[in-house]
Amino acid sequence: MSVDPCVESYPPEVRAHSALHVVKGAVVRVLGEGARWTASTYVSGRHARLTVKFDRKPSPDEVRAIEELANRKAAEGLIFETVTMPREEAERIYGDEIYDLFPVPSHVRELTIVIVRDVDGGVWNINACSKQHVHSSRCIGRIRIGKVRFRRSKQLLEIPFDVEP
């Protein structure tokens, strides 16, 4: 896979954080709606971890499918749109789809919504998120998923990954 020159335009943390949105879309499409709730995220340099509420450890084939789908979508150049709007309007338009399991504090009255558009114009991922993002998923680079961990007692699936180069 060739790397788009725009990869060099963004710091590794921005690329890894943006990849969280692409990986999350792939997780939901491969594992189903039962994996739609994000419990936590972590980014440090090129490394990131997405933790979702889920009821089982995925098979090696499912993990491979998540990585392949995320990389296909990264290569397709999905567009990252950012919209800032009053919280009530965002909730009316998008419902709870913009939220994760960790709540946005109630005093926050304005939300920044990140919409990752699929190639057909549909929504690949949507989330309230105040971080910086790439403009196109081509700028992420390659996504390599590490060893996933399922924490049965908490019903949490941890999906670590790195962005390359």
pLDDT of 104-133, one tens digit each? 999 999 999 999 999 999 999 999 999 999
Report the C-alpha gap between 153 and 97 in whole angstroms: 25
What's the CATH code of the domain at 157?
Answer: 3.30.980.10
pLDDT in tens, 3-58: 788 999 999 999 999 999 999 999 999 999 999 999 999 999 999 999 999 999 99
SS3 78: coil
pLDDT at 144 over 90: yes
pLDDT band at 1 (very low <50, low <70, confident <90, very high): low
Alpha helices in the chain (DSSP H): 12-31, 60-76, 87-94
Phi, psi of 83 (to 5 degrees): -130, 130
Domain count, the chain: 1
Tell me the CA distances in angstroms from 145 to 6, 22, 91, 94, one per residue in order. Answer: 22, 12, 32, 29
Closest CA to 139 of 33, 18, 50, 1: 18
Longest dimension (CA), the chain: 45
Report the C-alpha gap between 38 and 50 in whole angstroms: 7
Supply the range of the domain harboring residue 152: 5-164
Identify whether 103 is preceded by a cis peptide bond (ω within 30 of 0): no
Closest CA to 165 of 1, 7, 11: 7
